[in-house]
Amino acid sequence: MTVNSQIRTPLLQIADLVTRFGKFRALDGVSVEVGESQAIGLVGPNGSGKTTLVNTVCGLYPSASGSIHFAGTNLTGKRADIIAKAGINRTFQISKPFASLTVRENVEVAAHHARHPRDVDEVLEQTDLASHSRASASNLTAAQQKRLDLARALVMSPRLLFIDELAAGLTPNELQDVAAMLRNLVNDGVSLVVVEHLMGFLEQVVDGVYVLTAGQVIFRGPLRDALADDRVQEVFLGRNDSARS
C-alpha cells in the first residue's frame, strides 16, 4: 500500500530491507513504496535510519536481506552507478562540489556520466544558478551549494530523487523557493523522497510520510495524521534511539 491511495503502481518498492553493520541492524525490515510523480517524506529522530535507507537504496551500503525494485527492475545489490543510470539519484546532507571547477563545470561533469543527460543550461536555470554558472563552486553560499548539488542530480534525468535535508540552514524565503522548486519537479513527473526535520517545509512538498525509528517504519500516511499519532509523538518527544546514521 502506498502513502497516497491514489497511486496504484509503485515506481519504487522497498520490501523488508535489512542493513547490518556487524551484528547491528541499522535497518530492520523496512518497506516503502513511492508512486510515479509522488513526493513522500522520510522523517524520524536523528539516528533512526533515514540516511542509511537512502544509502542502501542508492547502492552505497549493501543490504543483508530484502529487495529493492524500481520501475519493474530488481536493483537489489546493484552498484551505485548502475542504480543512478536506472533513474535513481540523490542529494547529500553536506554538499561537496568540485571546488576548483565552476558551477557549470560541476554540472557538466555529472552530465558526462548520465545515460540521458538533460541540457545543462536548462538545469542551471531551473535551480536558480544560471547567473552563477561561471563562478567558482567554492565561492557559493551554503544555500547555493545545496542547489548545485540538486542541479548535478537533475542533469542525470532521474525518475526518482532522494532529497537529503536540502532545507537545513535555509532562510524562510529560501525555504519557500526550494519548496516550490520541488513541487514543480513532481509536477514534471519526478518522484521524490524527502528526508527532512522541518515539518512546515515538508507540508508544502510531500503527499505523505513514512516515520522511522530504530531502523523500523512505525507510521505511514498523511503528515497531519503522523503529528497526531501517539507513537510518533513519543518518538519525537524524547526517546533516545540507538546510534544510526
Amino acid letter, residue 219: F
Q: How confident is the model at residue 238 (pLDDT cuts 50, 70, 90)?
A: low
Report the mean per-residue pLDDT for the chain: 91
**3-state SS class at 30:** strand
Class of domain 1-87+160-239: alpha beta
In the prediction, which pLDDT does 59 show?
Answer: 96
Distances (CA, A) of 210 to 25, 127, 180: 19, 27, 21
Condensed to tens digits (0 to 9), the pLDDT of residues 134-183 reads 999 999 998 899 999 999 999 999 999 999 999 888 889 989 999 999 99
Give percent of the chain with pLDDT exceeding 90: 82
Whether pLDDT at 4 is above 70: no
Q: CB under 8 Å to 10, separation ≥6 — which residues?
A: 2, 33, 34, 35
Residue indicated by cell numbers 545543462? 120
Q: Domain segments of the chain: what residues?
A: 1-87+160-239, 98-157
Q: How confident is the model at residue 235 (pLDDT cuts 50, 70, 90)?
A: confident
Overall size of the chain counted in residues? 245
In the prediction, which pLDDT does 127 show?
Answer: 95
- Cell (9 digits) for 16: 523488508
